[in-house]
Every structure is written in structure tokens, then in C-alpha cells.
Amino acid sequence: MSAGLGAALKLFGQTRLRLGLDAYTLRGFKWDALQLLEYAAKMKLDTIQLDINTYQSLEPAYVQKVKDSAARLGLVIDGSMGCICGTSSGWKPENRDPLQYLLTGIRTTKAVGATCMRVYVGGSAERAELDKHVESTLKVLRAARSEALDAGVKIAIENHGDFQAWELRQLIETAGKEYVAACMDSGNAVTVLEDPLTTIEVLGPYVVTTHIRDSVVFEHPRGAVTQWVALGDGVVDFKAFFARFRELCPQSGVQLEILTGNPPRIVPYLEPDFWKVFPKARASEFARFVKLARTGRPLMARMVTGDPSVPEYEAALRAQQKYDLERSFEYARQTLGIGTRA
């Protein structure tokens, strides 16, 4: 952090937010939980969101090893797992039963010393029948309520391209805010017609963990185009975003999930059929998104986009993941004043 920025934060009494990463950012490296913890410590981070699929085993001895490693390295772990909705396209049948899958995650999260666990319902495919998937998810959440409360673990549902912020807040409040919370993803916000500043205003009081990345958003003859980019390369006003973050959810770590390597995607809101899956969209929030698109522009920089399973792209995409993540750490520290470890 620059001396001037540090002095300004001190002057205004702002809490220095914890800086971390969501391990999925480095998916190309196929590192396990212990390797990811060592990397996070090398980057002098405060926290990390670890999915249970990065664990070599869920046996108690291994989970304890992960917990001990985090403590030795001075890192706070946020838990994470996948889809918990049995009716969603994101549900993996090999997980057998959504409730038992969720309970396994809660128990592992408690054992590793974390107090929250990110999950998701679905993605853009679920918008056509969102109410059905909400009901399915509520049944699973309610069945897990007692164990989550006893474990002291909040189930943090991500806005995963399925929910607008107000819809996710409604789900959290219906289930019970005493054990259900939000994993706020600033990148997914733009895919559902939201300025991330709307997302923080609506979800902020319920946020316990995050996925933070920047986006470019600009107008297109069919509506708008969005693309995920490294922190500072996009159009999101992160100075305003984190001013509200410090007020609404200072207890949450800032977990960077920098997902570059994806091509631009069109959001065709000028086409009538598009609105069939957004029947209750709020006009004022949509207007804010349109304003963001009108002030935006395409990414004017190089980015590798391609299929990571193709050998010619694999190494380049892996290198890009690490490069864009590490320069995003620098931007977070130097420009936004995030991070507590020098």
C-alpha cells in the first residue's frame, strides 16, 4: 500500500480489509489445498477460499493437516463446495444426495476451522425455472439448518449467473439469515444485468465471503457485451464499491477470483425473448446497468482465449491465470488499500 493511501485510510478510520483468493482462479495448475496455502502465504495474503475438491482426502487426519498448515502460515480459510440443488443443471449425480453432500461440506468446513462455506444453486440455465430451483434448494437448506447452526458455519450462496441480487437476498431471508448468507460475486453480477454497485448495496448485509473480479461492459447492437478482466482493467468503480463494502460487510475477506481467458459474451437485452427469463427484473437496477454499459468500452489489451484442454492453449492460459491474479493483488493493495500483510 502507498504511504498516502495508508494515511488516508487511517485518517478516516477505515478497516483494512483482508485480501485473499478463491482457489478456482488457479485451476489450471491443479494444486491441492496444501500447495494453494503455500502459494497464498508466498503472496502474503490474509485469507483463501478452498473448495473441498482441492482436498486430497476428507479423512480427519488430512483435514487437520490443512487446518494446521493454515494456522502455521497465518491464513484464514473460507470453505467452499459446489451445487446443492438437485434439480439444477449444475448438480453432479455422483454426489448422490444434495443434503448429505451439504452436510459433508459443513462438517469439513467446521473441522478445518472455517466459519462460512460457499455453495451455489445453478447458473444461467436455471433462470427459466428459477422458482422450482429455489424450492428445491430451500428444502435442502432447511434440512441442514440444525447442523449448520451447531457447527457455527454459515452457508454462503453465490450469485452464480442464476440470481439477481434481490432474488438471492429473498432466498437468504426466506431460509433464515441466522445460518444462510451470501458469497457475492462481482463478475457474475454483470451477466444478469447488474452494476456490481447494485449488488453490494443489496447483498452487502449478508455477505460473508466473496468472488471479486473486474469486468468490461459496453453497448452492442443487440444490447451489451460483458467480459471478465483483471482488477483495474474494467469499468467497475471499485473505489466506490469498496467504500460501501467497508460499511456493509467489513467482516468478509476480499477473495479475488480472476477469471480471464473467456471471450466477450453478448447480453441481448434489446431482443424480446431475452426477457422471458427476467420477468421480475427491476427497472431502476436495469437502468443503472445500461448507464454502466454506455460509459464502458471493450478491453484494449491482449488476452489469451481458448479451450484449456487443447495443449497449445493450456500452458498460455495457465500462465495468464497467475499473471492476471498477481497484478490484481497489486492493484488491490496499491490502489484500493486492501490487504493487511506487508
Alpha-carbon distance 36 to 25, whole Å? 11
H/E stretch holding 254? strand 254-256
Q: pLDDT tier at 14 (50, 70, 90 boundaries)?
A: low
Q: Each residue of 207-242: pLDDT tens digit? A: 999 999 999 999 999 999 999 999 999 999 999 999
State the chain's mean pLDDT as an integer. 95
Q: What is the full DSSP assignment across 75-134?
A: -EEEEEEEE--TTSTT--GGG--HHHHHHHHHHHHHHTT-SEEEEE---GGGGGGHHHHH
Task: Confirm whether 1 is domain-assigned.
Answer: no
Task: Confirm whether 6 is domain-assigned.
Answer: no
Task: Confirm whether 23 is domain-assigned.
Answer: yes
Q: Is the pLDDT of residue 284 over 50?
A: yes
Q: Each residue of 122-137: pLDDT tens digit? A: 999 999 999 999 999 9
Task: Confirm whether 35 is domain-assigned.
Answer: yes
Task: Confirm whether 339 is domain-assigned.
Answer: no
Q: Which domain holds residue 30?
A: 15-334
Q: pLDDT tier at 8 (50, 70, 90 boundaries)?
A: very low
Strand order through the sheet with 116-120: 207-211, 180-185, 154-158, 116-120, 76-83, 47-51, 19-22, 254-256
The residues facing 207 across adjacent strands are 182
Q: Is the pLDDT of residue 1 over 50?
A: no
Task: Confirm whether 341 is domain-assigned.
Answer: no
**Who's near 139: CB < 8 A, 6+ residues apart?**
none
CATH number of the CATH domain containing 226: 3.20.20.150
Q: Which residue has the cell 463478475?
A: 187
H/E stretch holding 150? helix 130-151
Q: Is the pLDDT of residue 101 over 80?
A: yes
Q: pLDDT tier at 308 (50, 70, 90 boundaries)?
A: confident
Reference 202, options 264, 140, 149, 244; nearest CA is: 244
Percent of the chain with pLDDT over 90: 92
Q: Is the pLDDT of residue 253 over 90?
A: yes
Task: Confirm whether 163 is domain-assigned.
Answer: yes
Q: Is the pLDDT of residue 27 over 50?
A: yes
H/E stretch holding 240? helix 238-248
Q: pLDDT tier at 306 (50, 70, 90 boundaries)?
A: confident
Number of domains in the chain: 1
Measured from the Cβ of residue 60, the count of other Cβ atoms closer than 10 Å reads 11
The better pLDDT of the pair 10, 42 is held by 42
Q: pLDDT tier at 143 (50, 70, 90 boundaries)?
A: very high
Q: pLDDT tier at 249 (50, 70, 90 boundaries)?
A: very high
Q: Is the pLDDT of residue 298 over 60?
A: yes
Q: Each residue of 191-204: pLDDT tens digit? A: 999 999 999 999 99
Task: Confirm whether 243 is domain-assigned.
Answer: yes
Q: pLDDT tier at 10 (50, 70, 90 boundaries)?
A: very low
**Mean pLDDT, residues 39-47 taken together:** 98
